[in-house]
Structure 1
Amino acid sequence: MEAFDFIEMKVPAKEEYVGVVRLSISGIANRMGFTYEDIEDLKVAISEAVTNAVTHAYEANEEGEVTIGFGIYESRLEVMVADHGGSFNLSEVKNGIGPYENNESIENLREGGFGLFLMQALMDKVEIKNDSGVIVLMTKYIDEIGVGFDDDHVSTTK
């Protein structure tokens, strides 16, 4: 099995905690060596997933929480965002999850559509599990090649 580190955090299902998650992903992705542009993409995609859970997963009077898991590998970052869940068993989640299919009901995912479009556009892979609550698993690979400062040559970043 490929070696990785796993970070898990739980936040109350409240809008004011989306910024905390954004700061966390920014720090993790920066430490891993992602480019500035990729870090911005990660922040937007993960904010969309967390905002969706905060907005749609719970009734107004319900005290819910959102669990965010970060699987840190040498070449990629896997981020899981779940509502109505306890702790992650990473291998269990990955076994039971599959790619988002366009024929799935948007209502089943409690997603307005545009957020999901953004996640798919900004991440390398988006998978969704929708049984007791929603788990979104997003993967972003670290690019081995970056663009040089003057944009007319390619340089490796590692």
Structure 2
Amino acid sequence: MEEPAGPFRCHDVPAVPEALRRLRHDLMAWALAAGVGESRAQDIVLASYEALANVADHAYHGAGSGVVDLDAAVHPDRIEVMISDHGRWRTPVPDPRPVSLRGRGLLLLRASADRADITSGEEGTVVTLTWDLDPVRP
């Protein structure tokens, strides 16, 4: 990467599938324009989209529709994406089916990012995802 790219900010995006799909495509375009390799950009988009989908599924249940904010930035040593909602965390209902893919979203985003931090409170939930620019992995 040559020069750090400018930040990518999208605020007050409706937490509905159509808007979140568009945001996913815009994030991919930003990551690639920032000089991120395609494989790393796919990891960024996969984990970010999973966090966005969790907002749609969990943050505004029973409260009508809500919005989500996404802020991404390239720092000298890392890429950071923050996804924020203004809803309330709701514990997922267990899926009665014997084999279910539901409930694996947090595992997916943690596996796709170098670090994933989730803080939840009265004002909403913030998911901070970080990827090292020069990852050191075994």
Per the shorter chain, which TM-score range?
0.7 to 0.9
Say which one has the larger Rg. Answer: 1
Q: Is the counterpart of residue 69 in structure 1 residue 71 in structure 2?
A: yes
Q: Partner residue of 2:32?
A: 30
Could you tell me whether the CA contact under 8 Å between 1:14 and 1:54 is conserved in 2?
yes
Letter in 1 for 2:132: Y
Could you tell me whether the CA contact under 8 Å between 2:8 and 2:30 is conserved in 1?
no
List alignment gaps of at least 5 residues for structure 2. Answer: 93-101
Q: Deviations over 1:62-85 (max 9, x none)?
A: 131001111221332110111108
Letter in 1 for 2:91: E
Q: Partner residue of 1:141?
A: 132
Q: Is the counterpart of residue 7 in structure 1 residue 8 in structure 2?
A: yes
TM-score (norm 1): 0.66
Query: What value does the CA root-mean-square deviation take over the aligned residues?
Result: 2.6
Distance 1:73 1:4 in 2: 9
Distance 2:68 2:112 in 1: 21
SS at match of 1:121: helix
Alignment map for 1:109-128 (pairs within 5 Å) = 113-128=103-118
Q: Partner residue of 2:99?
A: none
Q: CA deviation at 1:4?
A: 8.0
Q: CA deviation at 1:15?
A: 1.0
Distance 1:61 1:127 in 2: 25
Q: Deviations over 1:112-144 (max 9, x none)?
A: 541111111110110111112111000012238
Distance change (3 Å), C-alpha of 1:28 and 1:76: farther
How many equivalent pairs are there? 120
TM-score (norm 2): 0.75
Could you tell me whether the CA contact under 8 Å between 2:8 and 2:27 is conserved in 1?
no
Aligned sequence identity (%): 29
Letter in 2 for 1:8: R
Distance 2:36 2:126 in 1: 24
Distance 1:18 1:128 in 2: 19
Alignment map for 1:41-52 (pairs within 5 Å) = 41-52=43-54
Q: Is the counterpart of residue 130 in structure 1 residue 120 in structure 2?
A: yes
Q: Deviations over 1:44-100 (max 9, x none)?
A: 101100000011111356131001111221332110111108xxxxxxxxxxxxxxx
SS at match of 1:74: coil
